[in-house]
Amino acid sequence: MTNRMIYLASKSPRRRELLLQAGIAFECINSEIDEAVKPNESPKSYVERMAWNKSQAGWETTSRYQTWSVLAADTAVVVDQKILGKPIDNKNAIEMLSELSGRTHKVMTSVAVTDGITTQLATSVTDVTFAKLSQQDIEAYIATGDCYDKAGSYGIQGYAARFVEAIRGSYTGVVGLPLYETARLLDSFEKLNSKD
């Protein structure tokens, strides 16, 4: 794992918690970008483009401090090749959770690391199977407020964990930052920087 400080181009408290858990020293920066999906864009292409663009936007805000790399990530919940974003209201959250109920969906998280010259990207794809949810299950979950600011209207690390029958892949990827892929990218940049 890297011994250097990095910039985290994300506002996500879950990504901050995961980096702390992994013992990675970081400072948060802003990286506002247009997150609209392009026509006919695949979910994987979308999350990879978002992570890449966030890393570049983050680098542009910090380019005068060129000793730290910038880490960015993006997560999408995907069912039937459709990207489920963050809910805009209770009705939208109910629709998403109803769509996920009793089915297996994919959670894709892409991670990008850049030093302003080289950018490397890795993508984690995890299958998550939800139990069949009753209307009462969904309404009780929405009442907790935990569905907001989360792709697909749920966070696996919270109350919604009780809905998950099975997971195949990266748990931390579903939370929002796959630590295995992240560690490999940061190790790669550590080796590159050690040659300078």
Decide: 62 and 68 in contact? Cβ < 8 Å: yes
45 residue type, one letter: S
> How far apart, in whole angstroms, are the C-alpha atoms of residue 172 and residue 169?
9
> How far apart, in whole angstroms, are the C-alpha atoms of residue 111 and residue 129?
23
Q: How many CA atoms lie within 13 A of 49 on its CB side?
A: 12
Q: Is 196 helix (H, G, I), strand (E, B) or coil?
A: coil
Tell which phi-psi region holds residue 81, choosing left (phi > 0), alpha (psi between -120 and 50) or beta. left
DSSP label at residue 1: -
124 token code pair: 């984690």
For the chain, the distance separating the N- and C-terminal CA atoms, rounded to the nearest angstrom, is 18
Q: Active-site positions? A: 74
Q: Which of 113, 123, 50, 124 is nearest to 85 (CA)?
A: 50
CA distance to 30, 70, 114, 154, per residue, from 190 (Å): 23, 13, 12, 34
